Structure formats: C-alpha cells, structure tokens
Structure 1
C-alpha cells in the first residue's frame, strides 16, 4: 500500500531552536532532559507526529549512551517519532575540518540508528561566513564555494560513498541536500554526484528553497524538481516569495508559506508522486514563529498529497485514481 495524505510521514525541522538559549544562555547539548522534553512538546502541540533531529540544536553524535537514551525517551514522552536526522554545515570536504566532519557523520549514523531513524541527511554546506552572519538573511551574502577541482569532487564522492556503505549496514538511507555553490548546487551537478556515488541507499534531498532564494539568477524551480525528484529519498520543503527587477539589477527573496511562494508545491508534490517518491517530508521555515508556519505548511501538504493509498508509486496518479 502506497502512502497517502494521512499516512505520509511529515516532520518538523528545528531551525527555530538555537544551540544556545537566548533566554538563559544554556547550551541545548548540556541541558537536562526536561529542556529537551519542552521543545518536543512544543513540536507535538503544533500538530506534528515526527521531528527531524538536527545537530545544529543537539548533536546526537556527541551524546553519551545514557544521554542518547534520555534524548530518545524525551521525544517518545512527547509522542514524537524520530525518523530523520540532519548533519548541518559539516562538509566532509572542508579543507580544515573535513576529516573530523567525516568522523562526526559516522557517529551521527550510529546515533540516528539507535534512535530508530531511517534517513540521515548530509550536505556540503560549510559554516556561515562573517559576512553572512551580519546579514538579516544569510543567503544574501556570499558563502563558501566548492572548488572547480576534479580531485576535491572525487573526494566528496569517496567520502559520501563511505558514509552510504555505513548507512546501509545500519539499515539507513543517506540523503544529500541541494545547496548553492557546492557540488550539490545545481540539479545537474547533484544528480551527477549521487550517480557517481552509485549506492541504492544514497539519494537526494531536493531542497528547492535553498536555490530559489538566492539574490542572483537562478535555475527554474520546475527544472530543479523534474531533474532531482527521481533521485529523492528525503525532502526539505520551504518556499520564498521572489521578485526580480532586471533593469535595476535587484532581486528580493523572503520566506513565504509553502502555498504562497515562487514554487508551486501542488505541482511539485504531484511530480514527486508520479516518479515514485515515498520518503519523509520535512517542513522548514526561517524567521518569525517558524514552527507555526511549518505546522500550517504540514496542513497544506496533507490537503494536496494523494488522499488514497491505493495507487502504485511511479505511475500516473490521475489515471490510477480516475
């Protein structure tokens, strides 16, 4: 039985929860389990059944076995599943920290498996630059650019293949997130990278929002979706309102509700279903009360996902449900 609108796993990202509390200055990594429970309860109260565990909030890779059990127990106590984990800004080809980041990714896989996850997301994005940290929206500043170098690109292939093999041993999928100016920075480059890795459990996270928010010329969102979704095994969804004034040379892109931005997710979701996507969807949003916006986006997704599960993924949904 294929997934339907009511059974499709949709999780909340934790972008709005910082590593260090702005209220009391406590590091989430060192916080008592009660603090974790309060966050998980907020996510559950917003209407989510699942949560993505991002190491930008709490690094599960760096928790002791007893603390990892406490962390998982806190999620379960709030009624949340933990189907996915996300490795944030720890590129395995970082010139200075690549080896350490690779080790961190291996430990993330182990910890995610221990918590019952089935997908771990990674990418090649690196820490924000000083310029990006000073901007209202970090994507308006120039970040790291992967070198146009065959050897470095092959290192990315080799290290992701190593992680993919480890993930397979643990029964996990590895998903590689689209991100600008990296070897995952365009639809063509991302597909080439995952194809070169060549493992069945390694796919793409076609986070279209990461690419259409840039204040520069962008790839058409439909081209990104149609090229990458056939390789997708996980999906970060977010949207942006975008305006271009070519004569003045200006671009504006700001976060928007999923149904209100540049990307038509009704079309994108239909496309995903038509090519067989059955992965977890994760709602992300920057700015304001990101959790509440993500909750509204979940409700929208459940309106536009297939309402019945009696169809065959990868075949025309319209024809099957007619």
Structure 2
C-alpha cells in the first residue's frame, strides 16, 4: 500500500519501560493486563505502532498461547506491531553466541506470528559493570568486536542465516549500527551488509549510537550518505554534543530530534532521496522517554515526511532500495 506522511509507520520503542514492574513482577511472566497497560500508555501518548523491544518483553521466549495473548492485547488496544528489536543479542558473543542465534531464530518466528514485518538485530553485547555504574553507559567504553577475519566471517554467516530465515517468513532483517562492532562505522557496516548479500537484509542506521560517544566520531552527514542507501529500518534519536579537540574533551546528552546535533530534517530528506521505505522507531534515554519520543513522532510526521508524494511498498513485504547506484 502507498505510504504518506499520515500512514508512514512510526513506532515507539519500549526502552522507557523496565522488564520488572513496580511490584517486582517479571513482565515476561506477567498477566497480559500488564502488557495492556504499557501498550495503552504508548497509544495514549499518540503512537499508532510499537516496537516490541526485547529489553521489555522477549517475544522470542513466549510460547504460542502467550504470543496469541500478546497479539490479542495489541489488537484490543488498537496498536500495531510492525517491528521487533533484539538488544545485546550478538550472535558472535564468545559465551552466548549460540544461544543468541537460537533466540534470534525464535524471535523471527514470533515476529511472523505477530504480523511484524521487520526484526532489528545487532552485534552489541551486554553492558560491562563499569558501564552499569555510569549515568550514561556510553561514556565508558564497552565490548569491542575483535579485528579477526574468522570472527567477522562467522558474523557474516550467522547474520546471513538469520536473513534467509527472515526471507522465508516475508520479514526484513535490519542490522543496527553500534560503536566498536562490525556495524560501528559507515564503511564497516556497508561492507558487512554487502558481504551478507541478501535483498531482505539491510541496515538500521542508528547513528545516535555513534554521535553520543565521548570521543572523536565520523560526521553524521558522512555516516548517513554511506548507510542510507542500505537502510530498511531506522531507530531515530538525537543528542546534544560538544567538542574541544585541543583538550580531547567531548560531551553528549540525550535531546529531542529537533534540538540535537543531527539535523533530521536533512537526514530524512536524504533517506527519501535514496528510496527509504522502512518504518521509523523513536527512542530516547532518560527522563520521560515516552513523552520525548511522542514529540519526535509528531516532528517526523508533521514536518519531515512528504505530504503529497506516496511511496509504494509493492506487493512484497520484503523490499530493499536498489544498491546498484551505490556500489
């Protein structure tokens, strides 16, 4: 169906919602009424869609009956579930890579059962103890993918395996950019998705993950020019950033889309010029993350997306902008 500014899927991430309720109950094992309350809060904030971020609820670990409960609950609330994001589930984690790969396959099956057409995965791993002690975890360096051709080959093979499974279900697989992984620079991310070489596998150009680092970074403009031709899903968030390179001083803090260092007016224009047709997912860390995300949703829909043109996804749910012009 054709996309317009009014119908473009813009989902809320569930990052502001913890995996444990105020009473200490696990959301994973909770009654569907707990899920209903969260989804209703997202709907009341103005969102029509939600990204079932697995830091809140691991849909890949729900049995068939619980998946039906979740689907029924979302339908009752009247909120769509176009995407699922798997967080810190690297398939090349030295200790948990095999388990993460199996979990990712289960999450793809769950996405199909829920009617989601996109699953976002990444290579970032669990926060270190030092990161957990910080106000903002990104101010301390964490895990780094090794400069090892064999490990990178394993990452390519396992992500291709997930891509093939996703394609059999009519689902897009999106690779989230994240610092110090094989998806941590524009060139490395493009090389990885090119090596995987599957039409339903693209990039999630979450450059907010890179802009917030307290160190020198690639310019956000260069990152987007390199990666947007391969984008099929997009976590959008923004940060204030200040630099004083003479003293090696860097600062970053979360900000709404329209006030941070990334110009999303320019970024979305470049994306559409490159044929972007994926959903957006609004993320925000700190404070009232849902309200800031809702402000970001309105900013995208009212000011950035075209009001008259339409973008046809075609009959297939698996679509990808042409790469021939960018190879």
State the TM-score, normalizing by the size of structure 1.
0.95
Matched, 1:6 2:9: no
CA distance in 2, matches of 1:200, 1:31: 38
CA distance in 2, matches of 1:184, 1:200: 18
CA distance in 2, matches of 1:193, 1:223: 17
CA distance in 2, matches of 1:117, 1:311: 19
Contact kept in structure 2, 1:49 and 1:81, CA below 8 Å: yes
1:210-261 deviations in Å (ceiling 9; x for gaps): 0000000000000001100000000000000001122332111000000000
CA distance in 2, matches of 1:276, 1:51: 23
Which residue in the other structure is 2:213 paired with?
A: 214
Where 1:247 maps in the other structure, the secondary structure is helix
Superposition pairs of residues 71-82 of structure 1, within 5 angstroms: 71-82=70-81
CA distance in 2, matches of 1:45, 1:216: 38
CA distance in 2, matches of 1:122, 1:131: 24
Shift in Å, 1:312? 8.1
1:269-292 deviations in Å (ceiling 9; x for gaps): 000000000000000000001000
1:89-117 deviations in Å (ceiling 9; x for gaps): 01000011100100000000000100000
CA distance in 2, matches of 1:4, 1:309: 7
Shift in Å, 1:310? 4.3
**Closer, same or farther: CA 278–311 of 1 in aligned 2, 3 Å:** closer
Which residue in the other structure is 1:245 paired with?
A: 244
Contact kept in structure 1, 2:240 and 2:254, CA below 8 Å: yes
Shift in Å, 1:25? 0.8
Which residue in the other structure is 2:18 paired with?
A: 18
Superposition pairs of residues 1-322 of structure 1, within 5 angstroms: 2-21=2-21, 23-302=22-301, 303-310=303-310
Contact kept in structure 1, 2:177 and 2:184, CA below 8 Å: yes
Contact kept in structure 2, 1:183 and 1:193, CA below 8 Å: yes
Paired residues, number? 314
Contact kept in structure 2, 1:2 and 1:309, CA below 8 Å: no
Contact kept in structure 1, 2:4 and 2:311, CA below 8 Å: no
Where 1:263 maps in the other structure, the secondary structure is coil
Contact kept in structure 1, 2:236 and 2:280, CA below 8 Å: yes
Which residue in the other structure is 1:320 paired with?
A: none
Which residue in the other structure is 1:319 paired with?
A: none
Contact kept in structure 2, 1:13 and 1:51, CA below 8 Å: yes
- Structure 1 stretches lacking a partner, 5+ long: 316-322
- Structure 2 stretches lacking a partner, 5+ long: 314-320, 323-327
Where 2:247 maps in the other structure, the secondary structure is coil
